């Protein structure tokens, strides 16, 4: 079996974790690393049992290496798009950390290149997709267990990690906007969970200045998403302050509802009701004792069910997302998180910025000319 050869970019907090997951596989290998901080690059390679000789001092060397099948981008945000575009122009598959772009012009170019090269597999790391609770939720919505969903709330309140040299996250020219810095996780959960029932058609948003830390871009967003079946989604996003990781979910439908609370003990984190499968009674699927007492043992979720309640990347589903992208390449399939397939999630982010500035509701799909006129039409540089 031919191994997928990866050119890795950015071996920081998230990057070193993902690189480790690649090295644990037997169908992929890291054959080159571009890391601006050479000392860190060497340390990470050594800790993973890889040769220091694969460290390169210029991104161009990744692009020019004909041996490399896929480029894995875990650099700071503003580099993602220029690096992804150069990789696709060189005929390489692209794994991209979120956000896929910090400039609208680059977003358009990524979509254009993906559409012109469907053989190239792309992926934006909306990692909550791989959380097993989110899988349950998507299946339950799709099988009508909550009837028609009309109201959704998802929070992303999480003081993002700016420790040490992760201080770049305060700098707007590198971080981009706060939605791309993490609030898009909540948006992705909402869009993927609703995908079986409805599509987003408009966005209204407000934003606020930082209150605690020195973010240059507004770190607080309140985003309303309208769906084409009349449902409305709401996202409280805050990357500035909070107490721990708050990815609260509340889905309400005509025949049931679902609530997830990050900040409570495991047995109480998830509860739902469904006329279809539980006679309309509230069920706590992570509480086997209560399910037993209520006579619904068959509705208990497995012990290894994961829930989205940590901001620590080491506890994220990195193994699953790495495996998913490698499988997409091997099986010649595009991921639901590919640049084209996930473009509506990115568009909600652009639309929210436009709405927060203009005070107007913005329709989806985005009118590209209007968006270009709003954003300044600049493209990023490597």
Ligand X SMILES: NC(=O)c1ccc[n+]([C@@H]2O[C@H](COP(=O)([O-])OP(=O)(O)OC[C@H]3O[C@@H](n4cnc5c(N)ncnc54)[C@H](O)[C@@H]3O)[C@@H](O)[C@H]2O)c1
Please tell me whether residue 129 binds ligand X under the rule CB under 6 A: no
Q: Which stretch binds ligand X (CB under 6 A): 50-58, 76-84, 141-149, 251-259?
A: 76-84
Closest residue to ligand X using C-beta atoms: 12
Bridge-based pairing of strands 55-56 and 28-34 is parallel
Closest approach, Cβ 14 to ligand X, in A, equals 4
CA dist., res. 185 & res. 239, Å (int) = 12
For residue 26, give both structure tokens: 């037997």
Closest approach, Cβ 198 to ligand X, in A, equals 25
CA dist., res. 361 & res. 353, Å (int) = 11
Which residues, numbered 95-124, are part of the site for ligand X (CB under 6 A)?
A: 97-98
Bridge-based pairing of strands 256-260 and 270-274 is antiparallel
Please tell me whether residue 166 binds ligand X under the rule CB under 6 A: yes
Closest approach, Cβ 11 to ligand X, in A, equals 6
Q: Which stretch binds ligand X (CB under 6 A): 33-41, 106-114, 345-353, 367-375?
A: 33-41
Closest approach, Cβ 311 to ligand X, in A, equals 8
Please tell me whether residue 37 binds ligand X under the rule CB under 6 A: yes
CA dist., res. 197 & res. 140, Å (int) = 11
Please tell me whether residue 239 binds ligand X under the rule CB under 6 A: no
Which residues, numbered 295-314, are part of the site for ligand X (CB under 6 A)?
A: 313
Which residues are CB-contacts of 91 (< 8 A; sequence separation ≥ 6)?
117, 120
Edge-to-edge strands of the sheet including 70-73?
55-56, 28-34, 4-9, 70-73, 93-96, 122-124
Count of positions on this chain that bind ligand X (CB under 6 A)? 25
Closest approach, Cβ 15 to ligand X, in A, equals 5
Which residues are CB-contacts of 167 (< 8 A; sequence separation ≥ 6)?
none
CA dist., res. 203 & res. 369, Å (int) = 17
| Interface residue list for ligand X (CB under 6 A) | 9-15, 34-37, 40, 74-77, 79, 97-98, 125, 127, 165-166, 313, 316
């Amino acid at each position: 079996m031919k191994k997928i050869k990866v050119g890795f970019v950015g071996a920081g907090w998230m990057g070193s974790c993902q690189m480790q997951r690649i090295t644990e596989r037997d169908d992929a290998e890291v054959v080159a690393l571009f890391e601006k901080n050479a000392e860190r690059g060497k340390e990470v390679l050594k800790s993973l049992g890889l040769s220091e000789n694969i460290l390169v001092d210029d991104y161009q060397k990744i692009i020019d290496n004909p041996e490399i099948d896929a480029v894995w981008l875990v650099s700071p945000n503003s580099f993602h798009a220029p690096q992804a575009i150069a990789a696709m122009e060189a005929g390489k598959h692209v794994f991209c950390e979120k956000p896929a772009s910090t400039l609208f012009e680059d977003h358009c170019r990524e979509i254009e290149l993906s559409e012109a090269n469907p053989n190239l597999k792309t992926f934006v790391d909306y990692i909550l997709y791989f959380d097993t609770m989110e899988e349950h939720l998507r299946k339950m919505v799709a099988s009508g267990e909550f009837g028609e969903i009309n109201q959704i709330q998802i929070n992303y309140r999480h003081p993002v990690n700016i420790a040490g040299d992760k201080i770049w996250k305060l700098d707007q020219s590198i971080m981009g906007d706060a939605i791309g810095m993490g609030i898009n996780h909540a948006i992705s959960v909402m869009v993927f969970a609703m995908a079986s029932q409805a599509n987003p058609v408009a966005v209204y948003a407000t934003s606020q200045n930082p209150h605690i830390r020195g973010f240059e871009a507004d770190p607080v967003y309140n985003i309303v998403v309208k769906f084409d079946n009349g449902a409305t989604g709401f996202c409280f996003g805050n990357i500035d302050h909070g107490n721990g990781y708050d990815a609260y979910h509340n889905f309400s439908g005509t025949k049931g509802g679902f609530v997830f609370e990050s900040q409570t003990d495991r047995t109480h984190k998830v509860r739902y009701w469904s006329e279809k499968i539980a006679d309309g009674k509230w069920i706590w699927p992570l509480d086997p004792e209560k399910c037993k007492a209520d006579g619904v043992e068959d509705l208990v979720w497995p012990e290894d069910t994961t829930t989205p309640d940590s901001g620590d990347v080491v506890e994220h589903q990195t193994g699953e997302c790495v495996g998913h992208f490698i499988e997409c390449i091997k099986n010649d399939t595009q991921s639901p998180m590919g640049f084209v397939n996930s473009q509506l999630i990115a568009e909600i982010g652009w639309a929210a910025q436009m709405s927060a500035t203009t005070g107007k509701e913005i329709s989806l799909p985005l009118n590209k000319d209007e968006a270009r006129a709003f954003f300044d039409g600049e493209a990023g540089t490597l």
